[in-house]
Amino acid sequence: MSTPSRTPDILPRPDFHFPGEVGRTYLDSDPARFPQPVKAPDGAPNILLILIDDAGFGQFSTFGGAVPSPTMDTLAAEGLRFNRFHTTALCSPTRAALITGRNHHSTSFAGITELATGYDGYTCILPRNCGTLGEVLRQNGYMTAWIGKNHNTPTWETSAAGPFDRWPNGMGFDYFYGFMGGDMNHWNPILYQNRDLVPASADPDYHLTTDLADKAIDWVRQAKAIAPDRPYFLYVATGATHAPHHTPTDWIAKFHGQFDDGWDAYREATLARQKTLGVVPADTALTERSKGLPAWDTLNAEQKRLYARMMEVFAAYGAHCDHEMGRIVAACRALPDADNTLIIFIAGDNGASAEGGLEGSLCENLFFNGFSEHWQDNLKAIDELGGPKHFNHFPSAWAHAMNTPFQWTKQVASHFGGTRNPLIMSWPARIKDKGGLRDAFLHTIDIVPTLYELCGITAPSVLNGIPQKPIEGASFAHVFDDAGAAGPRRTQYFELGCNRGLYHDGWMASAPSFVPWDPNRQEWDPDKAVWELYNVAEDFSQANDLAAEHPDKLRELQDLWWVEAAKYSVLPLDWRATIRMNAELMGRPSLIGHRRTMTYYPGIIGLPDAASPPMCNKSWTITAQIDVPAENANGMIITHGGLEGGYGLYLRDGRPTFVYNFLSIDRPTFTARDPLPAGSTTLVVDFAYDGGGMGKGGTFTLSANGSTVAEGRVERSIPIQFSLGEGLDIGCDVGSPIDFTYTLPFAFTGRIDHVTIELGELDITPPR
């Protein structure tokens, strides 16, 4: 396959200097010459990169799953499917690898940003020596846009105070529209356009995936209308199919009854379809159900009814996402240079997620606070699943089924259930083997060097004055024209939360360490971990453990894993789980710092959780100085969090009300008996923490102008974090409501002068 001419390996290019003769005046000087805009290499394609969230190998119809994916089907029919493409088993790490071409620990993204620690491979601060694909393409003549999820900005840098150099605009993308963090409420999202908070939509039928598709279409049409000769790079990273599984009801109805046979039957039927499609070898074996997951036949009738419904919601979520991505593809196909558009569709930044726990979930934040849920409680909300009242997630066994034919799920980097994801590439002008299958062993880090080769771009050795770390991936462009060509790599390590794997020359050593549906982990010894061994050149699904038969081969791969781990900053291994979600306990950088008193003013809305006062495991006081109107005294004064957890202080018909949302399970509410008189009022909420450990109870006292108006106790409090995606608002409520007694945005009808939060001392011993 021929490639365009190469580009400079030092970026940016030198500043323009007039090359002619300069006299005393323009009359005796050579004619002026303007510096010309940088042009992309001749023939460089447009690029549409679509990344679906939390999707498994056996989820979508294009790879044998039961979730219809006509968009992917069409792209696969006109392009290529890759059935040995691998991710890192988690979102932020995969995304860092995807946009840099380096291993996730090399980019400091050993985990999600909310789990960052202070070791080289774990800070979640993208090093400047790992320049992004967006920045390199932008400096080589591309128009660039990032639509959707951004989970690669340090949490403490996501507020309006910046800094912004690690927001998408600072990472080489001219335009950004999307959300910051791991997941987002699809009915009431908190979004940014470039650096600016986006006002909430007034559309009663609003859905985030549709909105993202709309913005992607608007951008690409506008860009090509204004500059038709410039290629574009459009990166679309959906929130679907990550929790919450928020789905329009008309889409859910399409799947009624389709999953009543359960997850075991689903796995068998999916493998049969995969063999028929040819996306797995004919002799592929179905792996055993991963240890700890229940058989469908052991469930009672009510469990089956609930879990089947949860899967219907998830299937609708995925089908709706494919449909909306199809609208983007159609818009790109309608542009004049459609044939020279390379579309890369990756169905999952990791395998399907088991974070819903064994019994499913109505509030994913419970999992990240170390709590499990019970099906009996969730059954009560069966008719509300997919709607705005819950942050729902299906049971772990459905996630396992979505990863058919492999073992395990998201987070488990040791096995393909966590790391093997469908990859589809379509490029009408260049791909001739339409509908072809490629089985080279590939990794996310291989996308960037492949694109550089196809676009005729040299990976810069120096970018913006910073010497660059070598690209650690390798191009697989040569397999486009040769189905039998060997893949670009002999060796690839895997590690995520101490789940470890090592691929080398057709063999895979695997050491699963922790199950992903248990948020609480015990002490662990890496030297006692049990390793498995698979000949994946012959055993596609990792079904036949050969560790006992080939101990020397296993030892070779175990030793090589440690070599690779030392090389790519994987060490030290860290098995701490949900405790790492608490930034204060982990000592991560914070805009709060060591302050104990913070004062906020009207206009502060959408302040991210990581930039908001840490109020777990301590006493605290909120003091609000307000003016109460004579009539219609209503609205939010201060709130932190949303439907997943947090608190809110508001007036309803003049009566002060404080709500403490304990992770959507319970919402104790403290309301004054009488309305406040009009005029200046000092409202105070005081929380006296019992202490003695994490998540203990305490006493709330609500007072107005020095007089107690309501009080009461809670026997437990949120131990790790209030919210996954929502922070602090003054004077209104953006995102989702703290309870369901008011209508968003619930703007305060009076005047707020300021709100002060005073924090007590952390009342537990921080972990080492």
The pLDDT of residue 115 is 85
Is omega for the bond preceding 12 within 30 degrees of 0, making it cis?
A: yes
The pLDDT of residue 1 is 44
CA separation for the pair 475, 487 (Å, rounded): 9
Closest CA to 58 of 401, 312, 318, 313: 401
- Provide the terminal-to-terminal Cα distance of the chain, rounded to the nearest Å: 54
Q: What is the DSSP string of 366-394?
A: HHHTT----HHHHHTTGGGTTSTT-B-B-
Report strand pairing: 698-704 vs 707-714.
Answer: antiparallel
Contact by Cβ (8 Å): 550, 544: no
Contact by Cβ (8 Å): 335, 494: no
The pLDDT of residue 533 is 98
φ, ψ for residue 37, nearest 5 deg: -60, 145
Beta bridge partners of 236: 50, 147
In Å, what is the CA distance from 535 to each residue of 57, 261, 415, 513? 20, 33, 13, 21
CA separation for the pair 447, 468 (Å, rounded): 18
Beta bridge partners of 47: 233, 342
Beta bridge partners of 680: 627
Mean pLDDT per block of 10 residues along the chain (768 residues) reads: 71 95 95 94 97 98 98 98 98 98 97 89 96 98 98 94 96 97 95 96 96 98 97 98 97 98 98 98 97 96 98 98 98 96 98 96 89 93 97 97 98 98 98 97 98 97 98 97 93 96 98 85 85 98 98 98 97 84 82 93 94 95 98 97 97 98 96 97 98 94 97 95 92 96 97 98 70
Instruction: Give the H or E element holding residue 327.
Output: helix 301-333
Contact by Cβ (8 Å): 643, 190: no
| Domains of the chain in sequence order | 46-485 (3.40.720.10), 496-581 (3.30.1120.10), 588-759 (2.60.120.200)
Q: Which residue pairs, CB below 8 angstroms and at least 24 apart, start in 67-70?
A: 67/315, 67/318, 67/319, 67/322, 68/319, 68/322, 69/318, 69/319, 69/322, 69/347, 70/322, 70/323, 70/326
The pLDDT of residue 582 is 78
Closest CA to 576 of 106, 126, 116: 116
Contact by Cβ (8 Å): 489, 101: no
Helix, coil or strand: residue 363: strand
Around 251, how many Cα atoms within 13 Å sit in the side-chain half-sphere? Answer: 24
SS (H, E, C) 189-230: CCCEECCEECCCCCCCCCCHHHHHHHHHHHHHHHHHHHCCCC
